[in-house]
Amino acid sequence: MTQAFHYARAADLIESATANGSFTSLCKALDAADMTHTLKGSGPYTIFAPTDEAFDNLPAGTLENWLKPENKAELVSVLKHHVLPGRTFADDVADLDRPRMMAGLTTKISMESGKFTIDGAHLVGDEIVSGNGVIHAIDAVILPSKSTRRGRGG
């Protein structure tokens, strides 16, 4: 008797974000920035993912402006500042101080009022583990600032 085995492929980061339902704006932005393919790839990646509410809290028209083709470079810069190469689970976030994001800039992770923050955005909800990474929901869109640095140090 031959036994057949079927292995289900784990959802990737984009599929996980879409299924969650709280990241519609982020997914739309990732599509406009042509980053969807990358985040569907093998990775692994950790996404500090702004919720739809975080995008709603931006000044009026900000997201719509970023979605225009002529603003793609700015959108890519913002989105890459939310992606950390590698897989970082919630328990490991405490070990990060100034991680270097996909854009090459460092960001500040700290503890504030008993919650982890990344450049002032709070981690909210439970982590979402996917086949090629981890999603941590955050309550604000992080904008790269002049205080972040490129290069080897952090």
Q: Which residues pair with 126 in a beta bridge?
A: none
- Comparing CA positions, the residue from 84, 100, 116 lying closest to residue 13 is 84
CA-to-CA dists, residue 80 to 6, 38, 149, angstroms: 35, 11, 14
Residue 103 · residue 80 · CB < 8 Å: yes
pLDDT digits (tens, 9 = 90+) for 40-80: 998 899 999 999 999 999 999 999 999 999 999 999 999 99
Predicted confidence at residue 146, as pLDDT, reads 47
Fold observed for domain 13-90+97-138: FAS1 domain (2.30.180)
pLDDT digits (tens, 9 = 90+) for 89-139: 988 888 887 899 998 889 888 887 778 889 989 999 889 999 999 999 999
Predicted confidence at residue 4, as pLDDT, reads 53
pTM of the model: 0.86
